[in-house]
Chains A and B, each alone.
Chain A
Amino acid sequence: MKFVGELERKEWSGVTYVEVEPQYWYENAARLKDQGYLFPTMLTAVDWPAEKKVQVLFLAYRLRDAQAVALGTKVDRDKRELPSLTPLYPGVEWHENETYEMFGINFAGHPDYDRWGRIRKVLLSEDPRLFPKDRYPLLKDSGGYKNLPKVDWANVEATDQEKEGLYEDLTYVYVGPQHPATHGPVGFLLGLRGEVIEDLIPRLGYVHRGVEWIFEQKDYTKVIPLLDRQCYVDAIGWEIPYVLALEELMDVKVDRKGQLLRILSAELSRIQSHLLYIGSFAENVNHLTAFAWTVRDREVFINLLEMLTGQRMTFNYLRPGGVARDFPKNFVDVYEKVVARFKKHFERLIETTLDNPTIAMRAEGVAKVSADEAIKYGWSGPNLRASGVAWDMRLNKPYMGYDDGIEFEGAIGSVGDNLDRMLVRFEEIKQSLKIIRQVLRELTERGEQELGQHLRRAPPFPRKPGVAYGYHDSARGENGVLVVANPSDPKARTRPWRVHLRSPVFVHTMSLKYLGRGQLLQDFLAFYISLDTCVAEMDR
């Protein structure tokens, strides 16, 4: 493929990285789109103060043959400007918001300019009393999240009120952050005409902690426990991409047993996460029985994970080169016993849920998202598949030994409504049980074989500079972690230079800005829950 103003071409993590000159940024993205790279995965930046440059990266996939291209460019640190890619890829809008607030890169032509005259901050507070206005925390010399102005909470008011850009003929209603249906502190500002939502502003950042900056202050291995706390329901889902990226940078290989244990933990975690999803969706449309049942059955998988990893929720299980603990001896016995019972429960759960007329009314035909829209906005995981797109990274872009003799099918839906999104999860639970069965059989056949490389110490940090992107199709979508190593800098010798988390939940929630319009108020909340959220990874 040809690009204009190409400076450099590299390969990492199965991605073709092409660096171009900044003035050809938009043109090259247009070429990329013409080649069929329709799926906008992420857009982010890396600061290089020594070169006086900020590097912007845009990663896009071509779904039909699972090709990935990353377009990169370096803009001057003093004049951080680029044209916005939103006319080509509407799904990068929120990534550009985030890159703006973290790096101060102005994306000319960003849709926020039309309405607010500036790019809005989505994660950080816009109130200068809480966070200095012109500080872009991920620039290396900005001071990050340290030395913030002191706040006297008794005298601070209206820090998150929307004042500008509202339409006068609509009635605005704040939903959240403390709201039982949002499952965590997320807010929405809904502009209503009657019961119909005509304008929607997602209000994020109520649990923003600045984790990407915190990661830069920590040693490589000390990042792993914090990754668990990004999505606490499917915690393994964040460890995997980071550790895969790290292994690529360190040149470490994992043996088969290590891979099997990783797959086992990932699938157990997926099951309990999907159970919680089904329960919370059912709870939101007043089918509380299902919630009580799924919480009960979820406890079983939590306990199995505790047996495997030593923790209930925040596992801290993966290590570069392997996993932290060996396979427990009686795991298979316990698993067989509890899963026999779980299967009975599961059948009854499906039966009662699908028989329930409330569920039928609130799910069937509500909030349809077409395949084109889902791809356009960068949806991934079960939500994308529910819209009828056959894209499961475990099958299409296999990693971590998923392609090595493990047989399972991806689940796809047909119309992409709430019902499809739920049914896809039901099917995925069944497929995960199938995967676990195969993994356990293989583990038993291998017997008491010594566990892989992690016992022979892996080097604790990469020695060479490099970039790697790890991904995992978790319970919520494509969890992607970009790790940049730059050991030549004395401060970053044992620490990552940059870690970026590509959060599927962030993408799904922000895309409600457009997809939520035209819905009824009560359907909107059911729609939002049907996307499966996890606030901590959304806000980071």
Chain B
Amino acid sequence: MFKRVNRNLIKKAKPVNEAVKWARRNSLWLLHLGIMCCSIELMQAGFAFHDFERIGVLARATPRQVDVILVNGPVNRKMAERMRRLFMQTPGPRFVIVMGECAMNGGPWWESEYVLKGIHELIESLPEEYRKDVHVVNLAGCPPRPEGLIRAILKLEEKIHGGDLAKAPLTRYYLHDEEGSKKKIVDPMMRYAYDNRKAGEKK
């Protein structure tokens, strides 16, 4: 007699899942695509002061190697087909950060029907097998600040992790006091002007 093997067993390999989750949430790669104003804030978030590379985010130019598509501007009818193609080219799971009002609902250009009323119109048009692993985080603002974008990335990590990452103090700037013990939140701007504690920069 034969006994059919239980294929479902494979899913019980929980530690692997956990490891994948852990790896995935700590290295979210973004698609290097700037549509409009919000992309400037994306750029500011990527470098000095905000620096999203410290939470594992990296901008890649090809959709075949990214986890996150960041929609940072209005998608109009001419762009829509291209945008849809980018969604299809991204390997799943497709994480989407909808940055700014334009991508959410047409934003300041709501009067014009030439601009789509939000990226969800396109996501809904994706074939079923693509659509079911699209995970969306919305980020309001026109434009959102770079801190907001970092918050959205953390929110996404939270989603992947399935737990609560809200307490991760990544969006704040902590500096030690002169006394060394207490922590103080410092405006990055002020830090630029005054921070000369590091050896090389004393002048």
Binding site for B on A (CB under 8 A): 124-125, 130-131, 144-148, 151-154, 156-160, 177-180, 183-185, 205-211, 213-214, 217, 225-226, 229, 232-233, 276, 291-292, 295-296, 298-300, 302-303, 312-314, 334, 337-338, 341, 535-536
Contacts and interface: CB of A to CB of B under 8 A. Distances in A.
Interface string B38-76: 011101101111000000000001010000000001101
Interface string B6-39: 0000000000000000000000000111111101
Given A152-B125, A177-B79, A300-B192, A184 B115 contact: no
A154 B44 CA distance: 35
A263 B20 CA distance: 54
7 contacts: A144-B112, A177-B79, A209-B115, A214-B109, A217-B111, A229-B36, A295-B48
A180 B61 contact: yes
Contact of B114 (A131, A154, A177, A226): A131
Given A185-B35, A229-B108, 12 more contacts: A130-B77, A156-B81, A177-B79, A179-B61, A207-B79, A208-B76, A295-B44, A295-B47, A296-B47, A312-B41, A338-B189, A341-B192
Contacts of A302: 44
Contacts of A232: 36-37, 40, 143
A536 B37 contact: yes
Nearest to B82: A177
Residues of A contacting B: mostly: loop
B75 to A, nearest CB: 9
Contacts of A207: 35-36, 73-74, 76, 79
A334 B193 contact: yes
Contact of B78 (A154, A208, A225): A208
B114 A209 contact: yes
Nearest to A130: B77
Which residue of B76, B122, B194 has the most chain A CB atoms within 10 A of its CB atom? B76
Contact of B81 (A144, A146, A153, A179): A153
Contact of A131 (B77, B126, B127): B77
Given A131-B114, A214-B109, A299-B49, A184 B81 contact: no
Nearest to A146: B113
A185 B102 CA distance: 15
Interface string B72-106: 01101111111010100000000000000000000
A207 B36 CA distance: 8
B114 A208 contact: yes
A535 B36 contact: yes
Nearest to A229: B37
Contacts of A152: 125
Which 9 A/B pairs are nearest by Cβ-Cβ distance?
A296-B48, A232-B37, A153-B125, A295-B47, A145-B112, A180-B61, A130-B77, A303-B189, A209-B109
Contact of A205 (B78, B125, B145): B78
B186 interface: no
B158 interface: no
Interface of B: 31-37, 39-41, 43-44, 46-49, 61, 63, 73-74, 76-82, 84, 86, 108-109, 111-115, 121-122, 125-127, 142-143, 145, 188-189, 192-194
Which residue of B44, B61, B121 has the most chain A CB atoms within 10 A of its CB atom? B44
Which residue of A124, A152, A206 has the most chain B CB atoms within 10 A of its CB atom? A206
Contacts of A147: 113
A301 to B, nearest CB: 10
A145 B113 contact: yes
B6 to A, nearest CB: 38
B40 A313 contact: yes
A292 B47 contact: yes
B82 A125 contact: no
A206 B115 CA distance: 10
B36 A206 contact: no
Given A130-B78, A206-B78, A299 B44 contact: yes
A296 B191 CA distance: 12
Contacts of A313: 37, 40-41, 143
A145 B189 contact: no
Nearest to B108: A226
Contacts of A338: 189, 192-193
B42 to A, nearest CB: 11
A536 B121 CA distance: 22
A178 B82 contact: yes
Contact of A159 (B36, B44, B81): B81
A287 B140 CA distance: 34
Contact of A341 (B40, B73, B122, B193): B193
Nearest to B83: A178
Nearest to A204: B78
A178 B81 contact: no
Contacts of B81: 153, 156-160
A285 B77 CA distance: 32
Given A229-B108, A302-B44, A209 B74 contact: yes
Nearest to A292: B47
Contacts of B121: 153
